[in-house]
Structure 1
């Protein structure tokens, strides 16, 4: 009996030692980096990130597009993966902070993930046509107040951060405007230029280099480096906004030493010349954040959105 106990103890110690060695040598094989959307947009920036991580880690970070169900399919595949650091997700936090409130029968929750690091912020902007009579946000707000329900605006998805920003702004400004959802920033801008919309809410990336639209305000707590002359909502006295956090995530219960190693690699990757150059080309604001503050910020966003969805009477569908 005693020999059996000793054998069990040795087996346990060997297992723990093997786990520690595995964590010390991480990554020891290729890592899958899942982006839960299709190609295009910030996808190009994340591919640069995966190459930077491959160089820093000494193993390939294999970039995979796994789109479907507004990001839920890719996110679910990561949530159910082995929590060993070899299957990760990259992309916007809305798949954790928004979808649990809007999509029925999700196979994961906000707490299904460990937040490794924030890479950048995808801020949003309210824009009008370049020939619009509205030169600043207050011009637009005053006109909308005089014509309740008459102004149409476009956005790229119902109950996404883009949409929630305008819902919040409209309530604070005391205006009634009609929203129209399009599949992406491109169609949204086309309808604006065609004269079907008074304004749009788009990503900064989609309008920063255009001369046929006029950005009026950025939904952030500061001015965006790609639009330094455009005020932020906070600057204009509005209290609430949602920015698109872009980050790296792991399945819940991934060992802390692995998370710490990934976190350090991430901090180095976003500072590489290649990543900085790619981010600048896309108009993305690189705002790196370590695991703990990133997780806290994401949870705050998740809970704030939960209260807003409840107030709006939104139910998962």
Structure 2
């Protein structure tokens, strides 16, 4: 790492119930509850998937509390499989060994990740892990900083989702290149939200919302969702959502500010896997999609692609989205 004079560093502080939770993804989507509903609402917030997860259910108390507990348990199961920070997770084992006989969950996520890579022409790439770690945003834990160009080039040699082999017949996932690693940070939360919603439906819940930081699914009734302003306190836009997933990716989630080429500059945790540098064309992207997993990878992919190509992809897929440029111009696919 170069000795970079960092004038400001911000890696997210969240204060909840007098407990500081450092390095958690902040809540980028706010839920505004509508009044006049005959059913009571029950809500619980817990830490998980590197963020704060909020599950809200409209049902009778006993039914609601039982369903919420089971939904959180399912999220915990998924985190144990997909977390890059848990050394015993399947992802960590795959990163160390280079191959694994995956669980159903990991197989599902990896198949979707390959599809996401194809749809975004490589703008979304789960093998970007070496780059993320090099900049200090992934394990091993260390202060973020600007790497040397030669370090970035070396890390990029290990990036390329097409070097992942998925052998469904023999239930095997392996890497073609030694030293490759994956980071599912741009897809795992959306998947976990989907699975939590599946549990709630199985438990007979008709109206609910699962909000995992910047990823949520609103079920059964119309929910008002506030998208946070990426540059100041307050709400950028309020949208109405029913039976759809919403995901926001922004350069204000986790970042540091340092000097680069003599100028003060923001470096976010969302990387362009093709260049090895943080993506810069957007400051916030919100996607409204049929599933949480799709909204998750698509918001990241559009962010990396930039406003023009990102907008074109949303139109091609017939997916609603909101893109905010660095000058705060808003582009929207309705």
Richer in helix (by share): 1
Q: Decide: shared fold, TM above 0.5.
A: no
- Rg: which structure is higher? 1
| TM-score, normalised by the number of residues in structure 1 | 0.31
TM-score (structure 2 length as normaliser): 0.30
Higher strand share: 2
